[in-house]
Amino acid sequence: MAGHSKWANIKHRKGAQDAKRGKIFTKIIKEITVAARLGGGDQDANPRLRKAVSNARSKNMPQENITRAIKKGTGELEGVNYEEMIYEGYGPLGIAIYMEVITDNKNRTVSELRHILNKHNGSLAEPGSVSWMFKRVGLIIMSLSSRDEENLMRDVLEVEADDFDIVGEEAYVSVDQGKLITVKEGLEKLGYDVKSAEIIMTPNSLQKIETPDKDKVLELMDLIDSHDDVNQVFSNFSLSE
């Protein structure tokens, strides 16, 4: 069980997202639509769609919104043609930034992201510039009671997760990305309150940001994450305690 500093920017992003529920719904709908377009509308045969719908339900999205997004993806309803893009860049102090985008106009999106980065002492980079600094893993975040904490190590091993960290009143459980849904459902059957389950990019190493620089880094990350077309954004910074 490693130290929880590697999850610091994930935790901050989650907190910022909770305050922007409308934007979260927009992003989830895009993800559901793309997942259905690429893999069909059957959740049992489409793990990506299954995960997106599970995420939507965890955020209390109405079922009619979910169904409509799936039908737009499968072509049963008319919808927007979205593209998935990856953009990479650098922020203040050279931190690495990895952005997963779903957009209906990639020229507009890249122009807006470049403007945000340039305005905050950052820059857009060539493909592959920072992606090698990260690895793709599954991350499950769940509420933790004292009862849960006592049994957590045993239960994590039982469902074949890789590792876990306790961060405040939450447990961050890391898993092989191919086992994400299976492990999530296993933990739920054991009685855990799963708040989210998603595939993320976690940094191979961390760059510590000292307190005087904290605000400008977090401001940039919030602006990128708030962009309507940014589905997920990751970085390799950790905050000094």
The gap from C-alpha 42 to its chain's centroid, in whole angstroms, comes to 23
User: Which regions of 31-188 does DSSP assign to beta strands (E)?
Assistant: 83-90, 96-103, 123-125, 134-143, 163-167, 170-175
Q: Is the pLDDT of residue 3 over 50?
A: no
Given 3.40.630.10, 3.40.50.2300, 1.10.10.10, 1.10.10.200, which CATH number is that of 4-74? Answer: 1.10.10.200
Q: What is the mean pLDDT of residues 185-210?
A: 90
Q: What is the pLDDT of residues 89-113, one digit of tens each?
A: 999 999 999 999 999 999 999 999 9
pLDDT at 22: 64
Q: Could you tell me which of 118, 48, 56 has the C-alpha nearest to residue 89?
A: 118
What's the pTM? 0.83
Given 2.30.110.20, 3.30.420.40, 3.30.70.980, 1.10.3720.10, which CATH number is that of 83-132+205-239? Answer: 3.30.70.980
